[in-house]
Amino acid sequence: MSQFGFFVKFKTLDGKREELVSLLLQASRSVATSKPCRQYLVYRDANDENLVCVHEIWDTKEDHDRSLANQASGELIQKAMSLLDGKPEGTELKLAGGFSTFSP
């Protein structure tokens, strides 16, 4: 099976990064029990106080898309969009393999 990965960068309005991080961590707890979601990590950029990144791994792109369609996700997305300075920049990825020891 070729897993679907997604990497997205969010540029926040000045002073809104921690509010966005909080929303994204809330989203991570929501998908943590979803079997098709294998990873949902939220990062603060070390050099830019307004940049937040998320790296997700899902069984399929369809699983990812379904996760965005539920009502709870829609509400979080609406809140998050009000904190952003422009549109998020996302990249779809196909997992080739590798190594990870991360286990929250």
What's the pTM value of the predicted model, to 2 decimals? 0.89
Q: Residues 6 or more apart from 11 whose CB is under 8 A from it?
A: 50, 51, 84, 85, 86
- Tell me the average pLDDT of the chain: 91
CB of 33 within 8 A of CB of 25?
A: no
| pLDDT tens sequence across 79-92 | 999 999 999 999 99
Confidence of residue 73 (pLDDT cuts 50, 70, 90): confident
Whole-angstrom Cα distance, residue 104 to residue 98? 18
Annotated domain spans of the chain:
4-94
> CA 71 from chain center: how many Å?
17
- Residue range 21-45: average pLDDT? 92
Residue range 4-94 forms a domain whose CATH class is alpha beta
